[in-house]
Amino acid sequence: MVPDAGSRDGTDVEIAEKNLLWLKITTKGKQVHASLPSKGKNANRAGMRLALSLDESLHRKYRKRDGLFDEPSSTFEPTKVDSNVPNVNTIPGVDVRYFDCRVLPEYSLDSVLADTNAVLHDFASEYDVNTSLEIVQRDDAGPATSPTSEVAVLMGRAIARMTKKEPRFVGIGGQTVGNLFRAEGIPSVVWSTVDDVPHEPNEYCRIANLISDTKVFAAMPLLAQSA
């Protein structure tokens, strides 16, 4: 049992996660003075177009939905952009952008990477720039934990017994420590009672939730003994 994610009302028991893929995409053109754009190749403009093209291409192909997950479809989000030139009057010769991809387990990350490389290759030829792809992080999803597994059943019974609430089994797009166990063939559930504020400036936890969750954890081995 992993207390690495959860919901505000403490009813969500996570049994499945998406594949995670972070990509770094570099576009190289030619840096020149901004008043003479015809002498160069604006990597910033090309990089923006490439990001939009890749965004549309991946969403168009990987469009299946799975209601188990809090975000039912695969997501491909352009996020971080590295700084390029320090001044306004220079056309940048290098553009570096990142994508955060959370892909439903039924899809292969190898397939996503192959399609991404194809988009980059075609774009480089069309716009006469150089493109390259780097994997920043890759975590393939382990097999989902069955809701009828021993740990899932005990978790559900403990929640119902101690909180008087009906648990529900869900999948999430975020990566947790639970996926490390599943990747090794160890069934795991991820649960806790948390407000929905991860990575926000005021991220916090409530003491009342910590106390209530501890009672649920303590009930699990007792319920196992009485089974």
Q: Can you tell me the distance from the alpha carbon of 185 to that of 147, in angstroms, rounded to the nearest whole number?
A: 15
Q: Cβ distance 94 to 27 under 8 Å?
A: yes
**Parallel/antiparallel/unpaired status of strands 19-28 and 94-103:** antiparallel
φ, ψ of residue 121 to 5 degrees: the values are -65, -45
**Domain spans of the chain, in order of start:** 12-16+143-226, 19-139
Which helix (H) or strand (E) covers residue 27, if one does? strand 19-28
The amino acid present at 97, given as its one-letter code, is R
Q: What predicted TM-score, i.e. pTM, was given to this entire model? A: 0.88
**Parallel/antiparallel/unpaired status of strands 168-172 and 12-17:** parallel
| SS3 label, residue 12 | strand
Give tens-digit pLDDT for 19-61. 999 999 999 999 999 999 999 999 999 999 999 999 999 999 9
**Top-level CATH class of 19-139?**
alpha beta
| SS3 label, residue 223 | helix
Domain 12-16+143-226 has CATH 1.25.40.10: no
Give tens-digit pLDDT for 132-191. 999 999 999 999 999 999 999 999 999 999 999 999 999 999 889 999 999 999 999 999
Give tens-digit pLDDT for 1-10. 999 999 999 9
Sole residue written with tokens 């720039």: 129
| SS3 label, residue 42 | coil
